Amino acid sequence: MKLDDLLHIIILAAALFSVLYVLYVFTVGVFEASVGLISSVDDDLRTPSPLTSMDLDRAFKAIGADSMIGLGKAFKLAEAEYGVNAAFLAAVAVHESGKGTSRIAREKNNLFGWGAVDGDPYISASTFSTLESGISFVAYRLRTVYFDHLGLTTLRAVGSRYATDPEWANKVLYWVKKLHEEGER
């Protein structure tokens, strides 16, 4: 075998390896993107949601969360900036605020009941200048405190600290699934 033939074989092998590597990366990337569909209380909340901002707004309309329509972009921005699944974040907001209708949501721009304690939730709840700033702040705190500091990265784990209701994770999971169902129509 001549040196030229050997070089051609090496070049072809390298090209084949490159194609296979690109296919592998593409396949894994597609698989990982689909993992962002949260289907259990034990799924990782750090994976990006496949829902777009328009999907979220469509879902808000479909479930009757009229005051939340237009916030899809804020949820997706928070996801991009802090790595908190947007469908999870939106589901917490829907659940905690009664679809954006609670007094805390309306008067304090706090869709999450952030800071509220059972004894006096309205007084203790944090106030934000806008709904969007509240979404961003809560995403930041979920990332830095719950995910990074405490290592709580699933609905079950987050729920154990976020709320006193032992069924909180299942209730939020219901809204995650509902937002996906309505958003993907």
pLDDT tens-digit map of 132-174: 999 999 999 999 999 999 999 999 999 999 999 999 999 999 9
Percentage of the chain lying above the pLDDT 70 cut:
84
The answer to which of 7-11, 29-33, 169-173 has the lowest mean pLDDT is 29-33
CB 71 within 8 A of CB 135: yes
CB 16 within 8 A of CB 9: no
* pLDDT at residue number 153: 98
Mean pLDDT of the chain: 89
Dihedral, CA of residue 107, residue 113, residue 114 and residue 115, to nearest 10? 90
For residue 157, give Cα distances in angstroms to 40, 93, 103: 12, 18, 27
CA distance 143 to 149: 8
More confident site: 30 or 53: 53
Give the closest residue to 135 by CA, choosing from 177, 176, 93: 93
Structure tokens at 161: 């600290």
Condensed to tens digits (0 to 9), the pLDDT of residues 103-121 reads: 999 999 999 999 999 899 9
Structure tokens at 82: 């802090």
CA distance 60 to 100: 10
Q: Quote the pTM value.
A: 0.81
Sorted by where each begins, the domain ranges of the chain are 1-34, 38-183
Strand partners, 154: 44
Is the CATH number of domain 38-183 1.10.530.10? yes
